[in-house]
Structure 1
Amino acid sequence: MRATWRGLPAARHAAGWEPGLAVPGADGSTLLTDHYFPRAEGDFPTLLVRSPYGRGLPWSPMYGMLFAEQGFHVVLQSCRGTGGSGGTFDLWRNEPADGQATVSWLREQPWFNGTLGTVGPSYLGYVQWALALEPPPELKAMVVQMGLHDPYALFHADGVLRLDNALAVGSGMTYQHRGVAAFVKATLRLQRRIREAVAARPLRGAYVPALGGEVPWLDEVMTHPDAEDPYWQGASLAEAAERSAVPVSLITGWHDALVDQTFAQYERLRRAGCETALLVGPWTHASALQKGWPEVFAESLAWLRAHLCDDPSGLRPTPVRVHVGGHGDMGKRGDMGKCGDMGKKGGQAAHGGRPGAGGGGRWRDLGAWPPGGTAAPAPTAWYPTWEGHLTREAPAPTDTAPPASFRYDPADPTPSVGGPLLSPAAGPRDNGTLEARDDVLTFTGPPLDEPVDLFGPVTARLSVTTDTGHADLFTRLCDVDPRGRSVNVCDGLGRTSAGTPIGTSGSTSVRAPVRADVPMSVTAYRFARGHRIRWQISAGAHPRYARNPGTGEPRVDATALTPVRVTVHADSALLLPESPPTAPSAPAPGPQGPGKAL
């Protein structure tokens, strides 16, 4: 494991291992648990790591051995119904009770000194929030890496199925806990058969050949798109952050599929007055634990030592550190790797100056997110024009001409390119082929005379007309370099309402314009001098999102497909959280080592 990464801290102790301990779950089921420990005299705090993905690779070396070498007992446990544990796995309903049962077991262990922390990514973050609903007195710190707290938001956006996420989670939850060989086989099968699965009509049940069998909980997830449906009651653990007093370190990447959930956690923790740290790197969900692991591990270790070992020496001087993308350091055309890095040449290295460690961009330490907090300036509006330009000049009140329209055909859905996904296709990508399609609109600003810095949420305020009343709106912010290459920064998807019919044109109804505010996630990004800001608008990103059939039918059951014409009106606007450009400053010390600050 140490040979995989440079920059990991030296081991403080040799580590031992007790595999296959039987811990009673809340329902009496046996929860198989491995215990890693420092081979040394003395008391050491304990880390609880509960996982539905098994206890082998990568969890055993990355969380068991590495943290035990640093002076922690590590309890690595398979969730109910996974990895040999008894009972039946449920996507969320068992975690609070089983977490509390495990802490009760810990209290009886002779090596447990009464000081407990939690750590882990993705669903391993969800089980941390489950424990924090009623935090035991021993819980002194949490490290939530690329963490989940709301399963609904993982699978749906504004009622639209996140199809790519659903299939990735279905495969991971079903096979990863069975071992590396089973998971690799399942991953290859999904790759071979994903096209037929996502293109099927109806969509319901079409995943079975791609996943190798039925997954009952996945059927339920896919067929309950309404967040208010009783099915989702109790799934979100947002309330844990709303009243938390346990110090929490949050780690995510700008292209993580759960990045918005992490920022929601941060906001709730800050409102609750909870001690909170935030690290946002140039990572996807997967690459944070690959290329980003030295930074992620160092951040996690420093937080746990500070709150479990009374050793704050490794903490950053500021509570927030973000990687600021852009700066013109995008590498050569086609250099972007499959983990979302943007090429080695010219890229400012992440902490320690390692070329290519995180692509173009620099790190910035902040007192809060977004910079300035409630005093942050209002977002700047950029407006589309009929010539395809993007300008800060608002249209005249008398300008009612729509700037552009396009026809979306669900039989040939607009494809997804990069962005915040769970799959290896995530991250920044060249959008040139996508933007050449007739069903994608682009509005592009002039070459910038000075850099434009963005820190905060990006939003699209759309005024649109549709001829059928059934359409999605996918909107994306892109950075266009002097060579014309367009790279995605952040994006979002919403739905139009039907609009009121106001007449007919031939056989087609004419509807009144409707307004739709579409959140496009958050960013810290610099558009370099000479680059251009581009606003991209389409009616979908398939198979990232299940296509809109255009008929009003539920997406999983639709068999008929109807094209729709979408017209974007001149009073639409792209709202950007612009900040005054900041000159580079001296690097701030921190557990990640010397990095170039912004």
Structure 2
Amino acid sequence: MSASGAAATVLVGMADGARLAGDLCLPAGDGPFPAVLIRTPYDRRRHRAELRAWAASGFAALAQDVRGRYASEGQWHPYRSEEADGAATVRWLREQPWSNGQVVAHGSSYGAHCALATVLGTSADGRPDAVIAAVPALGAAETAREPGGPERLLARAGWWAAHGDRRTSDGTALEDALAQDSRLLEHLPVTGLPLRRRRALPSWPQLWAAERDGDLLARAAAADIPLLAVGGTRDPFRGDTVELWRHWGGPSRLLMGPWGHALTAAPGPEARPQHRLNLGRLYVRWAEAALPGGLAPGRRGVTALGGSGWWASMADGPAPTSYPFSTALRLLGGPGFEADPEQPFCSDYLDVPTAGRPDRCLLVTPPLPRPLDLLGPADARLVVVADTPTADWVVRLVALDPRGVADHLATGVVRRTDPAHETARLSVPLGHLSRRLPAGTRLRVEVGGHHFPAHARNPHTGEDPVTATLLRSSNRSVQLEDSALALPVVAARHRAARVNPAQEICR
């Protein structure tokens, strides 16, 4: 077996006889060693440098192609086989002569789903001893839809085009398809999109039929092993990352940076030099503390305060401050608008259309008289009326710097079924904010009825948006007197205490 940084390919047998391929790196010496398991649909070979880094720190490290992907045998069915295959691989690791019996499951995105499926599975002897879940794609239904119901069309179309129903990936598949057919995502029904592309994607309709795993967070609450959850404030799964951390039963740590889905490789414009962490080194340090039981019980979390050089404790968030639409914000235009799925509120741009009938209710705050820190969950509390019985309600929060340059802060979207023309009260969660806004910044609040192509269009007919073929316009209005924006404002006299992220999550 290769050691001290050289990777050897191994085949691990599953219960049905399929063999899954993995690259294994062992530290120098005879062991025994703890192990790190990375299961991925994105090609195990991309993790070779990471495996060498783990081995140099004294961990045996295995990166494995999931079933049906790259060099692994079997059929690829996303989200279907990871619990059983992960458990079988954990058992194989513990049986090796160099193993000390301890295993850390580690993964990002779908790889985090693989790690969590193994940890939360029913096989007691196949469960790891600790888990690192970065930007976790919790499950098919969780990634397909927002907690409030609307379908995440663009992200899922991109992922399925690149990775679905194929042995190897094509990272530019959707981009190439849109270059040939710019209106591809407008095709109806949504379930028929592969026919428009003339490519077989049998698992695409199955994705939209998937139901949320209602007991996932309940199983997380029963977990007794350590968790490190890592996310980005610009990642679409940031809410799932925070919820996983909040519900975890064992010692749980959260690291949330000013990053996108690729974490430190995708910093937001609010990132500062102090937010450039060596995540690999931090993961090793955390695992060295977690495996021998060195973490204190309970939850600890740190988040970067974007726009500053600070890291702050997640426990320091203030109670939300209410900003009434009628007094704290200035209405631009009228409170009424048209949610027309043929000309929907576009998610791709931050500019606001000026021609035609308004497609959103638009409000703005006065310039901030002093810098403002936002640290914690935000939401919009709306009182609204729609002339259709089904309606999606979108709230987008944008910061306009003193020059008027727009920067996206948060978007929330929920689906409602209310009697037509009747007043409805609802809350639109905007997720966890962690930003410092400079003096002179104005906040723009946009309330709309679509968020396309990020989300599928609600047809307003009562039909399922993924199978509907007919679209209907919807007239809306927002009752300003009873609507408000709730923001987690840190009072200037109570600035959040600075923390060291590595020290906070490793103790």
**TM-score bin (small chain):** 0.7 to 0.9
Task: Give the aligned partner of residue 43 of structure 1.
Answer: 32
Compute the displacement of 1:171 (Å).
2.4
The answer to whether the Cα contact below 8 Å between 1:435 and 1:441 also exists between their aligned partners in 2 is no
CA–CA separation in structure 1 for the residues paired with 2:77 and 2:355:
43
TM-score (norm 1): 0.74
The answer to whether the Cα contact below 8 Å between 1:23 and 1:105 also exists between their aligned partners in 2 is yes
The answer to whether the Cα contact below 8 Å between 2:305 and 2:434 also exists between their aligned partners in 1 is yes
Q: 1:186 to 1:484 in 2, by over 3 A?
A: closer
Q: Deviations over 1:252-277 (max 9, x none)?
A: 000111111111111102xx3x2121
Q: 1:154 to 1:370 in 2, by over 3 A?
A: farther
Amino acid of the structure 1 residue aligned with 2:259: W
1:432 pairs with 2:372: no
CA–CA separation in structure 2 for the residues paired with 1:130 and 1:191:
33
Q: Match for 2:140 among 151, 162, 172? A: 151
Task: Give the aligned partner of residue 170 of structure 1.
Answer: 160
Task: Give the aligned partner of residue 377 of structure 2.
Answer: 457
Q: Match for 2:344 among 406, 413, 432? A: 413
Number of residues of Structure 1 aligned to a counterpart in Structure 2? 488
Q: What percentage of aligned pairs have identical amino acids?
A: 28
1:493 pairs with 2:413: yes
Task: Give the aligned partner of residue 278 of structure 2.
Answer: 295
CA–CA separation in structure 1 for the residues paired with 2:20 and 2:119:
20
Task: Give the aligned partner of residue 262 of structure 2.
Answer: 286
* Secondary structure at the counterpart of residue 63 of structure 2: strand
Compute the displacement of 1:413 (Å).
1.5
* Secondary structure at the counterpart of residue 417 of structure 2: coil
Amino acid of the structure 1 residue aligned with 2:48: S
The answer to whether the Cα contact below 8 Å between 1:166 and 1:218 also exists between their aligned partners in 2 is no
Could you tell which deviates more after superposition, 32-41 or 143-152? 32-41
Compute the displacement of 1:117 (Å).
0.8
* Secondary structure at the counterpart of residue 148 of structure 1: coil
Amino acid of the structure 1 residue aligned with 2:162: G
1:382 pairs with 2:344: no
Q: 1:138 to 1:485 in 2, by over 3 A?
A: closer
CA–CA separation in structure 2 for the residues paired with 1:564 and 1:386:
27
The answer to whether the Cα contact below 8 Å between 1:55 and 1:177 also exists between their aligned partners in 2 is no
* Secondary structure at the counterpart of residue 256 of structure 1: coil
CA–CA separation in structure 2 for the residues paired with 1:214 and 1:167:
13
Q: Deviations over 1:256-301 (max 9, x none)?
A: 11111111111102xx3x2121111111112444558843223212
Q: 1:591 to 1:575 in 2, by over 3 A?
A: closer
Could you tell which deviates more after superposition, 284-293 or 456-465? 284-293
1:245 pairs with 2:235: no
CA–CA separation in structure 1 for the residues paired with 2:338 and 2:175:
35
Compute the displacement of 1:471 (Å).
2.5
The answer to whether the Cα contact below 8 Å between 2:107 and 2:134 also exists between their aligned partners in 1 is yes
The answer to whether the Cα contact below 8 Å between 2:329 and 2:366 also exists between their aligned partners in 1 is no
The answer to whether the Cα contact below 8 Å between 2:141 and 2:213 also exists between their aligned partners in 1 is no
Within-5 A mapping of 1:64-143? 64-133=51-120, 134=122, 136=125, 139-143=128-132
The answer to whether the Cα contact below 8 Å between 1:253 and 1:282 also exists between their aligned partners in 2 is yes
Q: Cα RMSD (Å) of the superposition?
A: 3.1
Amino acid of the structure 2 residue aligned with 1:496: R
Task: Give the aligned partner of residue 309 of structure 2.
Answer: 362
CA–CA separation in structure 1 for the residues paired with 2:424 and 2:184:
33
The answer to whether the Cα contact below 8 Å between 1:409 and 1:562 also exists between their aligned partners in 2 is yes
Compute the displacement of 1:82 (Å).
1.6
CA–CA separation in structure 2 for the residues paired with 1:447 and 1:475:
20
Could you tell which deviates more after superposition, 571-580 or 254-263? 571-580
Q: Match for 1:304 among 287, 309, 323? A: 287
Task: Give the aligned partner of residue 272 of structure 2.
Answer: none
Q: 1:137 to 1:564 in 2, by over 3 A?
A: closer
The answer to whether the Cα contact below 8 Å between 2:379 and 2:430 also exists between their aligned partners in 1 is yes
Amino acid of the structure 1 residue aligned with 2:387: D
Task: Give the aligned partner of residue 578 of structure 1.
Answer: 489
Amino acid of the structure 2 residue aligned with 1:171: A
Q: Match for 2:475 among 549, 555, 565? A: 565
Q: Match for 1:547 among 457, 465, 473? A: 457
Q: Match for 2:365 among 445, 450, 453? A: 445
Amino acid of the structure 2 residue aligned with 1:218: W
Task: Give the aligned partner of residue 16 of structure 1.
Answer: 6
The answer to whether the Cα contact below 8 Å between 2:312 and 2:497 also exists between their aligned partners in 1 is no
CA–CA separation in structure 2 for the residues paired with 1:495 and 1:195:
27
Q: 1:412 to 1:195 in 2, by over 3 A?
A: same
CA–CA separation in structure 2 for the residues paired with 1:567 and 1:185:
40
Q: 1:417 to 1:45 in 2, by over 3 A?
A: same
Amino acid of the structure 2 residue aligned with 1:43: P
CA–CA separation in structure 2 for the residues paired with 1:383 and 1:52:
47
Task: Give the aligned partner of residue 23 of structure 2.
Answer: 34
Within-5 A mapping of 1:481-560? 481-500=401-420, 511-560=421-470
The answer to whether the Cα contact below 8 Å between 2:380 and 2:428 also exists between their aligned partners in 1 is yes
* Secondary structure at the counterpart of residue 319 of structure 1: strand
The answer to whether the Cα contact below 8 Å between 2:140 and 2:207 also exists between their aligned partners in 1 is no
Q: Unaligned 5+ residue runs, structure 1?
A: 1-12, 225-230, 326-359, 391-401, 419-430, 501-510, 594-598
Task: Give the aligned partner of residue 316 of structure 2.
Answer: 371
The answer to whether the Cα contact below 8 Å between 1:386 and 1:403 also exists between their aligned partners in 2 is no
Task: Give the aligned partner of residue 48 of structure 2.
Answer: 60
* Secondary structure at the counterpart of residue 241 of structure 1: helix
1:324 pairs with 2:281: no
Amino acid of the structure 1 residue aligned with 2:340: D
Q: Match for 2:201 among 215, 221, 231? A: 215
Q: 1:590 to 1:444 in 2, by over 3 A?
A: closer
* Secondary structure at the counterpart of residue 512 of structure 1: coil
Compute the displacement of 1:69 (Å).
2.6
Amino acid of the structure 1 residue aligned with 2:316: P
